[in-house]
Structure 1
Amino acid sequence: MADNLLDSVRVDELRARFGGPVVTPTMPEYEDVRAVFNSMITARPSVIARCGSVSDVKTALEFARGNGLEVAVRSGGHSVAGASLVEAGLVIDVRPMADVAVDPAQRTVRLGGGATWAAVDRQSQRYGLATTGGRVSTTGVAGLALGGGSGWLERKFGLTCDNLLSVELVTADGQEVSANEYENSELFWALHGGGGNFGVATSLLLRLHPLEQFSMALLLWPAEAGRAVAGSYREFIAGAPDEIGGGLIYLTGPSEEFVPRELTDVLCCAVLVTFTGPEPELREHIAPLLDAEPPGRLITDIPYAQLQCMLDDPPGYRNYWSDEHLVTLSDEALDRFCERARDMIVPSPSQQVLLPWAGAVAGGADWPGFHRDATWAVHPLGLWEDPADDGRARAWVRNLRADMRPWASGDVYLNFIGDEGADRVRAGYGEENYGRLARVKARYDPTNVFNRWHNVLPETEGEPLAGAH
């Protein structure tokens, strides 16, 4: 192989057996098909196989094996770690497998491995139903669900993986496997946070919940009011019902009608409150926050799917994210959180987010993802344009994490982070769960073909298998 190009004869052989498009670097559409959410990810695969069926997935895997190609799997392409691409390898792009079918009687939704939350949210909303999804609509359902799935509805309905009922998977050797409570139950457990370590998810079944009414409030203050607002928000959440979601967010004041001119394009402190109920009841709940007289306020009934689309960030920015979970949120922790926001790049889409958990998150099942006793998540979400700002953005994220460590639980939600090393992957699961995942990995992917998503190494009896990457 030279210059990231495979021999055209071999690619033509793949095309002859493949139902969907096969895209290579010499083709005009390659750059558009290759582009992912994080523009810092520059890997250039040799082949992008756009799978329209399970048969295509199996054919692509067979081709990769036969040609010694590393494999990446792409659904939404939002992985900040770059799991959706692989240098000089083959991408199994399942975005064409994006069908969504809601069963309102059973309150379930079945979707293809390439579906995004926009389609799931809109289809479910037609029947007054919803489930916990990503905080933007363009996120791939499979990546979020298999990685755990944190979203605005989690305090009421649990994480996305808490609502995962079954998965259809193609394993590294091309076998079709069903995983649910009754079939391959150990694999099913592993898919509740273990991500793309075990195969290509071609279909998922999720539980839906009634959601007839939904409302939100976005309240803005100048950054210098942030510490007082943060204290009020902590007190507000302590007494809030599980129907309340949202978070405290430092951000660049948006250019919107409800935002005063003096708060536009400058650092602001915001509180987003989501509510699985009507706007008049929401106003009653947030009365203590309104007493703090936010200069910018938007309080309204809104379809849940519309809220998700409102928060979409465009692709193409440089991204660097991370995460710390807090067992307690002391005054000193709030002081440090608010002080660190001064290091954000402004104006930019970057956000410094404090998310409240508890509720249904704390009451969920014992899946392999992050430990559920954390009450808060600190999530620096860096998005910027100029490569000259790379060092500054990374320093802000790392320094905020360091600020929070005295109150941190030590675990991590892996969907919130990039490549932070093997120790952080283990922290995301804990040693006992990591060992259990490694044994599942050894059964379904013994040679570690699927190694791009916060990799779990295959092992038996505590020893990595020979031949694993």
Structure 2
Amino acid sequence: MPLHIFEIITLFAALAVAQSLDPFCYPGNPCFPSSSVINAFASSLPNGTVVFPSDSQTYTNVTRMRNLVRTSYPFAVVMARSREDVKDTIAFSRRYNLRLTVYGTGHDFNGRSTGNNTFQLDLSLMKSRVVSLDSWRHENGTISVGPGNTWIDVYREVDKYNRVIVGGSAHTVGMGGYTLGGGHSPICRFYGMAIDNLLEVEMVMADGRIVTATKTYVHTLYNNGSTSNVSDPDFFWAVAGGGGGTFGVSTGMIFKLHHPPESVIRVMMVYPIFTFYGEDVLSQVVGKLQRLFTDDLPPEWGGYLIFDGETDAYGSRGHLTFVLNHLGPNTTSSYKYLQELLDFLPTKRFFNYTEYKTFFDYEIEITERYPYFLVFVFNSLIPSSNIDSEFTEFVRESVLSKPTVTSAVTYTATLIGGKMREVGDTQTSVHPGFRSSLLSMTGGVGFGLDGIPDAVRIFSKTMELNQAFSKFGNGMYPNEAAQATPVWQSNFWGENYKRLLEIKLREDPDVFFTCDQCVGSEKRPVISGSLATMTSSPFLFLYTLSLLFVDMVFN
């Protein structure tokens, strides 16, 4: 059954104590607008609607996050359908000093897009898609998209026009947070990151301005109807890499399109870490990886390396799985570059080879193992020079040693480099490590419903792993990095953070848009599950999970 209204009210009451130190206005505070005022706002929306906790199942559906750990309970959810809805919601939030959270598709590992007792702006219904093959902006065409699209929606659309686009692999990943955080992809080594392919972004600002920005200019529509066009490379530089939910609300983006490769080949190889007889296969495979996965790795190769600690039916302990994709046929020199790995230890592995006519055919076969999950994540950008015996031992030990009886550690490493390295360290605002590393490697400590009572202990173990793992990296991907990361500013953005903060305070001096470990949030911290903030509460975190547990068991 859906969460009962009395359970939501109980949660809100529990939050009131912690939120007494928060700079925003929440339910129960004297500053909070009355029900009649909120209802009048809901009725005034040009196109959107407002969902309240009393709307039962609908409320449950629009607040549930893909990472169930991060499900929170806003006091209301605006289902926006237009940028006018977005603009009005921001204005109402400003008027009453409500904390606004901005939700796209719910694929958010750390819950920055939601929050208990917040006023949530849901963009998932804004799904416009317009392809322009004769666009003057790019020789291979462009696509304009709304923030409510998922990447599988966009892949399907551009495939109709025999084009490809750089986007996320998981089908539930959306436009906004993914792109504004940088955006790696199974094909980013050949075409660049998502931000390298972003041509224009439309954004509604905290003061109601509607900004349309490219790398060189900013067009602004002001509240009084006047407009301006100015040369300003700072704005686009900051938003394209500075993270979602930080500078404003993105209501539209325009991306480059590309002609597709002749074919897409997927090669899957599963090697055991230890065989049933105790043979150390992982060290042998990593040795081969060290030799081949260097600056010489052709950009046509992309994909993922996945480490797990499961024992399989053959008695093997743990696995390294290569899920590699090659753009182009197997007769090319780029494909043959990895032949030494493709032929390596054939009797010790599972091997699968599939050739697809289009990238969409490749992508549509990707399935998410679980549509919803419970996980704490951490990330590092790993240079090839740091993939050594110490790194190998750390990964092996962490996946084979369960943090608790009810949890397990896995790693998913995205291959980066190639075309991405043609962009300079300061040309975009992402951490410079993105431009020099081999892997964006994300660890996850996952657990099931039986692990909820151990959630605080599992979170603590994740923080230990994050700290230990960070020594192998050169920066972190903020979209997949751990909460409570020390000195997150430099870990997420490096030397670019100083300029990012200056632009943030120029565009949003009151830091109206704020989220956990986001640009400028040190100026206006928010309630979250992160132990990095003074207002964190393990009790509230567990209480939220307990409500979620009740909902999932009985729904």
Same fold judged by TM-score > 0.5?
yes
Aligned to 1:338: 396
Distance change (3 Å), C-alpha of 1:32 and 1:2 = closer
Cα displacement (A) at 1:375: 3.1
Query: Within 2, Cα distance between the matches of 1:308 and 1:425?
Result: 34
- For 2:100, give the aligned amino acid: V
Query: Within 2, Cα distance between the matches of 1:352 and 1:344?
Result: 13
- CA deviations on 1:247-297 (whole Å, 9 max, x unpaired) are 32113779xxxxx95389x73221111111135658644432233215322
Cα displacement (A) at 1:147: 0.5
- Contact 1:439–1:458 (CA<8 Å) still a contact in 2? no
Distance change (3 Å), C-alpha of 1:312 and 1:190 = same
- Contact 1:220–1:270 (CA<8 Å) still a contact in 2? yes
- For 1:36, give the aligned amino acid: M
Distance change (3 Å), C-alpha of 1:297 and 1:152 = same
| Higher alpha-carbon Rg | 2
Distance change (3 Å), C-alpha of 1:422 and 1:222 = closer
Query: Within 1, Cα distance between the matches of 2:408 and 2:153?
Result: 24
Q: Answer yes or no: is 1:189 the counterpart of 2:237.
A: yes
Partner of residue 154 from structure 1, selected from 156, 179, 188: 188
Aligned to 1:257: none
Aligned to 1:39: 68
Task: Describe how 1:295-314 pairs up with structure 2 within 5 A.
Answer: 295-302=349-356, 303-309=358-364, 310-314=366-370
Query: Within 1, Cα distance between the matches of 2:188 and 2:458?
Result: 29
Distance change (3 Å), C-alpha of 1:243 and 1:397 = farther
Aligned to 2:478: 414
- CA deviations on 1:328-362 (whole Å, 9 max, x unpaired) are 22233223223322135899896313343321222
Partner of residue 75 from structure 1, selected from 98, 101, 104: 104
- For 2:127, give the aligned amino acid: A
Q: Answer yes or no: is 1:16 the counterpart of 2:43.
A: yes
- Contact 1:344–1:393 (CA<8 Å) still a contact in 2? no
Aligned to 1:138: 172
Query: Within 2, Cα distance between the matches of 1:78 and 1:226?
Result: 31
Aligned to 2:319: 268
Distance change (3 Å), C-alpha of 1:75 and 1:405 = closer
Cα displacement (A) at 1:311: 3.8
Give the fraction of aligned pairs with identical amino acids, expressed as a percent.
24
- Contact 2:398–2:409 (CA<8 Å) still a contact in 1? no
Q: Answer yes or no: is 1:374 the counterpart of 2:440.
A: no
SS in 2 for 1:210: coil
- For 1:166, give the aligned amino acid: E
Query: Within 2, Cα distance between the matches of 1:349 and 1:20?
Result: 41
- Contact 2:270–2:350 (CA<8 Å) still a contact in 1? yes
Cα displacement (A) at 1:76: 1.9
- Contact 1:217–1:272 (CA<8 Å) still a contact in 2? yes
Aligned to 1:291: 344
Q: Answer yes or no: is 1:360 the counterpart of 2:388.
A: no
Q: Which runs of 5+ in 1 are unaligned?
A: 255-259
Cα displacement (A) at 1:38: 1.4
TM-score normalised by length of structure 2 = 0.75
Query: Within 1, Cα distance between the matches of 2:500 and 2:51?
Result: 34
Task: Describe how 1:173-184 pairs up with structure 2 within 5 A.
Answer: 173-184=207-218
SS in 2 for 1:81: coil
Q: Answer yes or no: is 1:439 the counterpart of 2:510.
A: no
Cα displacement (A) at 1:453: 5.6
- CA deviations on 1:279-324 (whole Å, 9 max, x unpaired) are 5658644432233215322211134334444142434311211112
- Contact 1:337–1:403 (CA<8 Å) still a contact in 2? no
Query: Within 1, Cα distance between the matches of 2:344 and 2:485?
Result: 44
Cα displacement (A) at 1:402: 4.3
Q: Answer yes or no: is 1:230 the counterpart of 2:289.
A: no
SS in 1 for 2:422: coil
Query: Within 1, Cα distance between the matches of 2:39 and 2:149?
Result: 28
Q: Which runs of 5+ in 2 are unaligned?
A: 1-7, 13-26, 28-32, 136-140, 219-232, 275-280, 527-555
Q: How many residues in Structure 1 have an aligned counterpart in Structure 2?
A: 455
Partner of residue 378 from structure 2, selected from 295, 301, 322: 322
TM-score normalised by length of structure 1 = 0.88
Q: Answer yes or no: is 1:219 the counterpart of 2:274.
A: no
Aligned to 2:278: none
Query: Within 1, Cα distance between the matches of 2:250 and 2:375?
Result: 26
Query: Within 1, Cα distance between the matches of 2:204 and 2:163?
Result: 29
**CA RMSD, aligned part only?**
2.9
- CA deviations on 1:427-448 (whole Å, 9 max, x unpaired) are 21124x2121112112221111
Query: Within 2, Cα distance between the matches of 1:332 and 1:103?
Result: 50
Aligned to 1:390: 455
Cα displacement (A) at 1:403: 4.3
- Contact 2:463–2:482 (CA<8 Å) still a contact in 1? no
SS in 2 for 1:414: coil
Distance change (3 Å), C-alpha of 1:38 and 1:245 = same
SS in 2 for 1:167: strand
Distance change (3 Å), C-alpha of 1:20 and 1:350 = farther
Cα displacement (A) at 1:174: 1.4
Partner of residue 423 from structure 1, selected from 461, 477, 487: 487
- Contact 1:39–1:316 (CA<8 Å) still a contact in 2? yes
Query: Within 1, Cα distance between the matches of 2:82 and 2:443?
Result: 37
